[in-house]
């Protein structure tokens, strides 16, 4: 029997949506000794990274983990490199090893370029605060450089191609125009020289949403000056051109499209760190196969949470949070010797902003668009921040943004 003097060791890897949820909630259990390991000392709120590219402050999307994680959780900034299921130990890059009674692996995702020739080398992404800031600064530099060019040269330099019309690509496409045009005006560059294209191999933007929702979003993108290329598959990327296949013609045609900036938003894959788990089996969707309690099939003391877990709605922040809450309860029950219930996957709600003060909300066939959906998105973001950190921290984030 566990007592506060003889606590169960719980090691959580990954300070993202799933990991911090498990850590925060398990910290309330006096029978659990919780350690959180993460490579990054900040939690990054990915849903708002597009706003960082479009001018928001880094404080809006990034919170130091020590402002989130309760004091009784040991926080280690280190990198997981492997797990020994027999010894029940996790190895870290620093050379140390952590023994555990229960482990939760929640290392999230990396970019996936699907082996498209030249894409990784020539495209930019915004999958971290650092990359989002680098992308913003390269776009602003181009605006500044355009001042000294002829109109034709400036137009070429300010042509941006966003690949992937899923939520990230669509949100970025809607936000970039107003931001860059304002910056261009300020430095005396004609804003109409900025061109933003959004390209996807699916027949419509936001292909996971109902058709009428896609139509509303396409209209809104066009109002924001974005040109949508649906049914265009990308085959290769080099310094100056994208090679694409237009599938809208009776016979698909291959053509070259010139773009000075290529932004990749079309795919992620689960972190390569999951492949280090001995005996790991991947699902068809290339996530880790788990049992109905999110444990490894070959070891019920190791759980997989967030993007890595092979469950129905994995790949969403909402799913990762949900799984974090489920695992905190499941591990507490196991420590107490109480039976655990199965994890029940919950469908997510999409709220996708496009341009200023407009968003689309979708759950199953239910769709709302416009200002109301945009306000809901602000409330969802604020509620999440308030659930993980103090109101004082949220106010300080807002103050820093204003300044």
Task: Catalog residues that contact ligand FAD under the rule CB under 6 A.
Answer: 13-19, 37-40, 46-47, 49, 79-80, 106-109, 127, 167-168, 271, 273, 306-307, 315-318, 320, 348
Closest to ligand FAD by CB, 93 vs 185, is 93
8 A C-beta contact, residue 105 and residue 304: yes
Least gap, CB of 19 to ligand FAD (angstroms)? 6
Closest to ligand FAD by CB, 19 vs 225, is 19
Under DSSP, the state recorded for 148 is: T
Closest to ligand FAD by CB, 154 vs 320, is 320
Tell me which residue has its CB nearest to ligand FAD. 16
Least gap, CB of 102 to ligand FAD (angstroms)? 17
DSSP states of 91-131 as a string? Answer: EETTS-EEE-SEEEE---EEE--TT-BTHHHH-B--SSHHH
Least gap, CB of 36 to ligand FAD (angstroms)? 9
Closest to ligand FAD by CB, 231 vs 276, is 276
Q: How far apart are CA 111 and CA 128, in angstroms?
A: 10
Least gap, CB of 327 to ligand FAD (angstroms)? 11
Closest to ligand FAD by CB, 46 vs 113, is 46
8 A C-beta contact, residue 41 and residue 77: yes
Residue 335's H or E segment, with its range, is helix 317-336
8 A C-beta contact, residue 243 and residue 254: yes
Least gap, CB of 373 to ligand FAD (angstroms)? 13
Least gap, CB of 43 to ligand FAD (angstroms)? 7
Which residue in the block uniquely carries the two structure tokens 């606590």?
Answer: 7
Centroid of chain to Cα 143 = 27
Take residue 52 and report the two structure tokens written for it: 């960082």
In sequence order, which residues have a C-beta less than 8 Å from that of residue 258 and are 6 or more positions away?
Answer: 156, 159, 240, 241
- Indicate left, alpha or beta for 148 from its phi (over 0: left) and psi (-120 to 50: alpha): alpha
Closest to ligand FAD by CB, 146 vs 172, is 172
Least gap, CB of 384 to ligand FAD (angstroms)? 10
Closest to ligand FAD by CB, 25 vs 193, is 25
Taking the CB of residue 384, how many other CB atoms lie within 10 A of it?
A: 16
């Amino acid at each position: 029997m566990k007592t506060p003097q003889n606590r169960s060791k719980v090691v959580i890897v990954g300070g993202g949506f799933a990991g911090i949820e498990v850590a925060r909630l398990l910290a309330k259990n006096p029978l659990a000794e919780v350690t959180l390991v993460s490579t990054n000392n900040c939690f990054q709120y990915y849903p708002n990274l597009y706003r960082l590219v479009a001018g928001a402050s880094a404080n809006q999307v990034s919170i130091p983990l020590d402002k989130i994680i309760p004091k009784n959780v040991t926080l280690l900034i280190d990198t997981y490199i492997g797990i020994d299921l027999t010894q029940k130990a996790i190895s870290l890059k620093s050379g140390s090893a952590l023994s555990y009674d229960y482990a939760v692996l929640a290392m999230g995702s990396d970019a996936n370029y699907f082996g498209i020739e030249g894409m990784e080398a020539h495209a930019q992404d915004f999958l971290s605060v650092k990359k989002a800031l680098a992308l913003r600064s390269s776009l602003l530099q181009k605006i500044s450089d355009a001042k000294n060019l002829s109109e034709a040269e400036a137009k070429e330099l300010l042509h941006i191609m966003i690949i992937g019309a899923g939520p990230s690509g669509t949100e970025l496409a809607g936000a970039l125009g107003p931001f860059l045009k304002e910056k261009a005006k300020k430095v005396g560059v004609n804003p109409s020289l900025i061109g933003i294209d959004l390209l996807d191999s699916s027949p419509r933007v936001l292909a996971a949403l109902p058709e009428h929702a896609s139509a509303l979003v396409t209209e809104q993108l066009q109002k924001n000056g974005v040109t949508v290329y649906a049914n265009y598959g990308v085959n290769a990327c080099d310094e100056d051109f994208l090679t694409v296949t237009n599938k809208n013609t009776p016979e698909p045609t291959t053509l070259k499209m010139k773009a000075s900036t290529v932004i990749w938003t079309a795919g992620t894959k689960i972190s390569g760190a999951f492949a280090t788990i001995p005996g790991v089996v991947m699902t068809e969707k290339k996530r880790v196969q788990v049992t109905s309690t999110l444990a490894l099939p070959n070891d019920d003391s190791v759980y997989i949470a967030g993007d890595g877990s092979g469950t129905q709605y994995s790949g969403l922040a909402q799913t990762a949070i949900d799984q974090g809450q489920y695992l905190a309860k499941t591990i507490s029950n196991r420590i107490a010797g109480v039976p655990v219930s199965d994890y029940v996957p919950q469908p997510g709600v999409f709220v996708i902003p496009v341009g200023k003060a407009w968003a689309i909300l979708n759950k199953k066939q239910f769709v709302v668009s416009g200002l109301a959906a945009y306000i809901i998105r602000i409330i969802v973001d604020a509620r999440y921040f308030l659930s993980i950190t103090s109101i004082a921290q949220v106010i300080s984030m807002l103050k820093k943004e204003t300044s």
